[in-house]
């Protein structure tokens, strides 16, 4: 004997199990409402993206995408380029200029602000860590001879600094010319000069020593020598006028 398999819903709605409102006794077959129905109701299908959309080119989207074969960096560059074109370069530059992050100071910046050519330990505020750093750097310098920067010697602007440990080991400034752009070690002469300089808005003077070759020695006194030559030519012209 064969038995017909019915579903649980059909068995529940058939016979005495059917509710009063949903009973089918004495009636023909009727369409039953589904047991489960979404409370959100029916929704329209999502709109298809335009051609060129980021999601285009994927299965189910319309049209190929020019970004489908780009990596993340290339997509980022394209987005930035489109952003700049839409807003304008000047507007983007103003936007970035107003939002530049503050850059912190480096150790070199702190040394530049607190360094002194000649320090007086009595006046140094050792409670400030920036001053302590500058004092520690200053204590590692060798202050017998100086190293000169003569790139502006024609205007009598010569910069001086103390030697580092590496320069002392190499003999720079004592056994070789003290001009940082010259390494001549022949016929060196010692010069003692009054170095007038401006530091932190204050004019100062210091007596320092230099070891220079003959050519750099001329550069050291270049302006004075030119003034002397000019004075000698002026005197020669005056003597010629008197002789006439």
Q: Which of 58-70 are b and which e, b meaning 16 or more Cβ less than 10 Å from the residue's Cβ?
A: eeebeeebebeee
Q: Which two tokens stand for residue 241?
A: 């006028």
Strand partners, 189: 212
Specify the pLDDT at position 135: 92
Q: Which of 132-145 are b and which e, b meaning 16 or more Cβ less than 10 Å from the residue's Cβ?
A: eebbeebeeeeeeb
Residue 147 has pLDDT above 90, yes or no: yes
Question: Assign residue 41 a region: left if phi > 0, alpha if psi is -120 to 50, beta otherwise?
Answer: left
pLDDT above 90 covers a percentage of the chain that reads 37
pLDDT in tens, 200-227: 888 999 999 999 999 999 999 998 888 8
Verdict on whether the full-model pTM lies above 0.85: no
Specify the pLDDT at position 13: 46
Specify the pLDDT at position 176: 94
pLDDT in tens, 230-239: 899 898 888 8
């Amino acid at each position: 004997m064969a038995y017909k398999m019915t579903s649980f819903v059909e068995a529940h709605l058939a016979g005495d199990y059917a509710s009063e409102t949903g009973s089918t006794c004495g009636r023909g077959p009727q369409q039953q409402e589904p047991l489960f129905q979404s409370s959100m109701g029916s929704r329209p299908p999502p709109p298809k993206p335009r051609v060129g959309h980021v999601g285009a080119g994927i299965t189910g989207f319309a049209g190929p995408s020019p970004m489908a074969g780009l990596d993340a960096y290339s997509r980022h560059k394209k987005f930035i380029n489109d952003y700049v074109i839409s807003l304008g370069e000047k507007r983007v530059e103003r936007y970035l200029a107003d939002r530049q992050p503050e850059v912190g100071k480096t150790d070199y910046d702190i040394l530049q602000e607190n360094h002194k050519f000649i320090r007086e330990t009595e006046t140094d505020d050792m409670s400030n860590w920036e001053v302590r750093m500058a004092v520690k750097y200053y204590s590692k310098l060798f202050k017998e001879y100086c190293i000169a920067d003569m790139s502006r010697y024609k205007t009598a602007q010569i910069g001086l600094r103390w030697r580092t440990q590496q320069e002392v080991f190499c003999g720079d400034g004592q056994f070789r010319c003290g001009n940082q752009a010259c390494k001549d070690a022949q016929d060196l002469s010692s010069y003692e000069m009054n170095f007038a300089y401006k530091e932190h808005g204050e004019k100062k003077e210091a007596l320092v020593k230099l070891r220079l070759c003959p050519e750099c020695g001329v550069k050291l006194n270049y302006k004075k020598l030119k003034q002397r030559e000019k004075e000698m030519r002026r005197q020669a012209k005056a003597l010629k006028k008197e002789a006439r």
